[in-house]
Structure formats: C-alpha cells, structure tokens
C-alpha cells in the first residue's frame, strides 16, 4: 500500500480514537479483524472500543447470532448489528449513555482463501447515534474485493471499513460519504455495488439516488433496486434465476415498451425450462441514457423509476454502453438462461464495427463474449418509415463482411424474433410521445398505459404541459 495512503487512513482512525464522545463495538467475521486492527494500530483505542469480537466457527456464530442460511449476507450483517447494539446499550447506557454516542461496526466477509477462488465479497455496516441517547441511524454496504491475494483483500477491507466509519461520523451529506469510500485505495481494488442509509440522520436521503451515485461516481458498474425502491445486491436477486433484460430510456414507458417485453417473455418461457417464478425481469437504464443536457437530472431519474415501480419492475442502472459488457455482468451471477430484449434498431447497432475498436478481436471478440453462455437476443420488429413495411430481426442488412456471421447467429437461434406483438404499437416512439406531452398535445395519452398517464399528469413528470383550453 502507498505509504501516503497508509498515513491518511491512520489519520482517520486516530481522529476517531481521539474523539472521546465515540464508543462502540467491532464485530467482524470471515477475513480477520481488519477494521478493528486499524484502530488498535494507531493507538488510543481504549477510549473508542468497548469490545471487539470474531466468531469464525459456525457453531459459535450460530450460538451468538442464531442460525443462518448464508453467513456472508445482508441478513447476517443485520443480525450482528442488532445484537451488538442491543448489548452495548443494555450494558453501558447507565455508565456512559449521557456523555457518549454508541456505535457498532460489523462486517461478514468471504475473502480469497487457499482452497477456493470464488468471488470475494462482503457486507459492512455501521449503526451509530448522532448524539447521546438518540435513536440510531445505520449505513450498510456490499463490497466486491478485486485483489488477487488474500492479504491485499484484507488490507483493502480495513481501509474501506475505516472510511465507512469515518464518513458516518463526520460527513453530513451521504454523497460525500459515498465519494470517500474508496479514499486511500488505488483504483480497481474495491467495488461498492449496494448502499443503504436509514434512520433519523438520513431522513432526506433517497436510497435510489444514493445507488445512482455509486454508478456515477465510479464505485461500481451497476446497481439495482426493486419496484418498492428497496436497494438490493445483484446476487440476492439473481441467485438461481433466469434473467430477461429490456434496455431503454423509459421516458416515458409506452405501450410499445410493454408489448416488446411481453412478447419476449412469452418466447423466452416457451423455449426455456424455467417458470415465471424463476424468471427475473429487469428494466435497464445506462448512465448515458440518464444524462440530460450532459448532466444527471435527479428529478427526471426519479420520475422514470417511479413509473417503472408503479408497473412492478425491478430496475438496473449501469455503465454498460455495449451489450457484451452487460452480458458479462449477468454471467457473473447466474448459469441459467439469459435474454436481452431490444428493437431492430438496437440489433443493427450491435453489428456496427465502430463500437468495438477498443477490443483486440473487434466485433468477433464482442459477440464471442456476448453469446458464450447461451445468451439470446429477443428482437421486436420495426416499421421502415420509407416503405411502410415491417422489418423483423432476420431481415436486417449488415455489412457484407458480416453476413456469414449474422447468418450463423440466426441459424443457431441466438437471435430470436418476437412474432407475437401488436402491429399498431410499432409506430409508437418515446421521443415523439415526450414531445407531444410537453407541447400539450393530448394524443400522447393514447400511446401510454393508463396508470402511467395518471402518474405523469398528477406529478407533472417530464415537463408535462396541460392542454390549453379552447
């Protein structure tokens, strides 16, 4: 580790140790007491640490925190925070409650081991009182440790833990805390793909916006949240599930948006051995899709998410401009069927070589990565405005040197036509709908599901303009 970064991390830990108002517990399972070690190392920990503990053996861990299906999980972390915070207040409130703010830092981690080389990841959390004898607030994060060596992963974990605790105590704004999580770490060592703020200290924080910050600030390539706005870690959602993803701007969701997804879903389920219950349907927005005028518009983002939530959709926000990168991300989490839903224009873009100049193997490498796990594209037709004819996936024109490659994908059923659809929806285009709703032209209402119409009009999303009375 860079000596300057080491010193900076130590300064954070020492500042906490010298703050006589902070007093709490460290409970760490799975990768050693890496965070607590930082505080002991810099000195002065006796005024900060009431207890440290680590229960590596499952029997001991179960005896303390109760049995668990998975030991490295959000559920286990929450149990640890609940248990340790309860003990802290129960045993020390009478002695220190009037003068100290109690906290619990906990983590449960699966670092690289000598026997296994599975994904290294962990859950970290802090529960803390902003002031003595006040209701606690809480922050939890999920991290992926990207170093190859176990000792380097442990080192990185210690730094992130110090950053999280320091941020909870001294950063008033959640955005500042998020930007500080990778401080004093070289790029590419840690990924933070889930964060959740809760409690009185964060009443104004919208966790969907905080998730967006993780992507826009480069702490991760993708984040997810469910229809109710609950932030989730991908492995929690994708575990043993098939996945169907529709990418779009969803500004707004139209009848065509839903028709495309419904048609793809019918083909997907008919061809795979999974049931509706075993299928995760995602609506994906890339960071580029969210940029309006070159910058992120939070109100616009939340409008899209609220509409998708009303429709019961799980949302994925990503930095994956190219589809092969999205595919690689999904392959990480499941070995079940994966489908990408798109219109014919997106399929045409996939076969434009200019998008793959950064790859040594060009378009061959990109498509090899995309289809290596049996992934399929489910393609919605379009109307050729010049001729008025419907163009399906198998009818698109590609460059002469790519025709054999395209035919190979068609013949091996990697590209699937969506044949069950409403032809009248093919003329619905979101930019046209958006223009109409912003100009007061009420015809847009016939292109959008009723519940979406109601929400847009009630909350005046997307610059909605009420029609001018005659």
Q: Domains in the chain and their CATH numbers?
A: 3-205 (3.90.950.20), 236-427 (3.40.50)
Angle between helices 323-331 and 362-371 (to 10 degrees): 30
Instruction: State both tokens at 182.
Output: 């990778």
The pLDDT value given to residue 462: 95
Burial class (CB in 10 A: 0-12, 13-18, 19+), 111: buried
Instruction: State both tokens at 176.
Output: 């500042």
Cα distance between residue 406 and residue 398, in whole Å:
8
Residues 193 and 223: beta-carbon distance below 8 Å:
yes
Cα distance between residue 367 and residue 369, in whole Å:
5
Cα distance between residue 141 and residue 200, in whole Å:
18
C-alpha separations of 172 from 168, 178, 299, 381 in Å: 8, 11, 22, 50
Cα distance between residue 132 and residue 396, in whole Å:
67
Cα distance between residue 434 and residue 249, in whole Å:
11
- Phi and psi at 50, nearest 5°, equal -80, -35
Residues 374 and 330: beta-carbon distance below 8 Å:
no
Residues 284 and 246: beta-carbon distance below 8 Å:
yes
Residues 130 and 201: beta-carbon distance below 8 Å:
yes
Residues 77 and 124: beta-carbon distance below 8 Å:
yes
The pLDDT value given to residue 253: 97
Q: What is residue 395's DSSP assignment?
A: G
CA dihedral 69, 75, 78, 80 (to 10 degrees): 10
Q: What is residue 336's DSSP assignment?
A: S
Residue of 423, 396, 389, 400 lying closest to 410 (CA atoms): 396
Angle at 222 between CA 238 and CA 351, to 5 degrees: 95
SS3 256: helix
The pLDDT value given to residue 134: 96
Q: Are strands 279-286 and 314-318 parallel, antiparallel or unpaired?
A: parallel
Q: How far apart are the first and last CA of the chain?
A: 71
C-alpha separations of 197 from 194, 202, 302, 398 in Å: 10, 6, 17, 48
Residues 72 and 110: beta-carbon distance below 8 Å:
yes
Question: How many other C-beta atoms are found inside a 10 Å radius of the C-beta of residue 294?
Answer: 5
The pLDDT value given to residue 373: 86
Residues 377 and 347: beta-carbon distance below 8 Å:
yes
Distance of CA 218 to the CA centre of its chain: 12
Cα distance between residue 433 and residue 222, in whole Å:
28
- Show the low-confidence residues of the chain (pLDDT under 50): 470
The pLDDT value given to residue 115: 58
Residue of 259, 284, 203 lying closest to 449 (CA atoms): 259
The pLDDT value given to residue 382: 97
- Token pair 């590209």: residue: 415
Tell me the per-residue pLDDT of 251-309, one tens digit each, with 9 for 90 and over.
999 999 999 999 999 999 999 888 999 999 999 999 988 876 667 889 999 999 999 99
Q: What share of the chain is helix, strand, coil (3-state, %, to 5)?
A: 45, 20, 35
């Amino acid at each position: 580790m860079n000596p300057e970064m080491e010193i900076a991390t130590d300064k954070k830990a020492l500042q906490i140790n010298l703050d006589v108002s902070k007093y709490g517990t460290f409970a760490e399972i799975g990768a050693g007491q890496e965070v607590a070690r930082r505080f002991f190392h810099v000195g002065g920990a006796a005024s900060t640490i009431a207890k440290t503990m680590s229960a590596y053996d499952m029997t001991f861990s179960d005896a303390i925190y109760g049995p668990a299906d998975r030991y490295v999980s959000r559920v286990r972390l929450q149990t640890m925070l609940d248990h340790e915070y309860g003990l802290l207040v129960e045993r020390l409130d009478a002695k220190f409650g009037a003068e100290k703010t109690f906290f619990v830092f906990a983590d449960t981690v699966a670092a690289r081991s000598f026997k296994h080389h599975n994904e290294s990841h962990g859950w970290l959390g802090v529960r803390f009182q902003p002031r003595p004898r006040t209701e606690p607030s809480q922050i939890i994060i999920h991290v992926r440790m990207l170093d190859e060596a176990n000792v380097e992963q442990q080192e990185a974990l210690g730094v992130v833990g110090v950053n999280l605790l320091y941020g909870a105590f001294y950063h008033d704004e959640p955005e500042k805390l998020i930007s500080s999580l990778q401080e004093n770490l070289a790029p590419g060592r840690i990924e933070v793909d889930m964060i959740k703020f809760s409690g009185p200290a964060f009443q104004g924080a919208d966790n969907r916006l905080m998730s967006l910050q993780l992507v826009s600030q480069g702490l991760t390539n993708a984040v997810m949240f469910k229809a109710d706005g609950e932030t989730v870690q991908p492995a929690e959602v994708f575990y043993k599930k098939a996945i169907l993803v529709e990418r779009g701007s969803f500004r707004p969701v139209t009848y065509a948006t839903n028709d495309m997804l419904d048609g793809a879903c019918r083909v997907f389920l008919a061809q795979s051995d999974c049931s509706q219950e075993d299928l995760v349907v995602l609506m994906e927005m890339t960071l580029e899709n969210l940029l309006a005028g070159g910058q992120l518009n939070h109100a616009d983002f939340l409008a899209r998410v609220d509409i998708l939530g009303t429709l019961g959709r799980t949302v994925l926000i990503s930095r994956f401009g190219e589809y092969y990168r999205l595919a690689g991300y999904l392959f990480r989490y499941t070995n079940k069927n994966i489908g990408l839903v798109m219109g014919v224009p997106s399929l045409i873009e996939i076969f434009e070589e200019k998008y793959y100049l950064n790859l040594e193997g060009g378009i061959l490498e990109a498509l090899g990565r995309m289809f290596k796990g049996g992934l399929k594209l489910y393609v919605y037709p379009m109307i050729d405005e010049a001729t008025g004819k419907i163009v399906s996936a198998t009818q698109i024109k590609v460059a002469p040197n790519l025709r054999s490659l395209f035919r190979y994908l068609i013949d091996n059923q990697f590209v699937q036509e969506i044949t069950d659809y409403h032809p009248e929806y093919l003329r619905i285009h979101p930019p046209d709908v958006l223009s109409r709703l912003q100009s007061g032209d009420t015809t847009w209402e016939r292109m959008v599901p009723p519940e979406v119409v109601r929400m847009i009009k009630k909350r005046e999303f997307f610059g909605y303009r009420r029609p001018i009375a005659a």
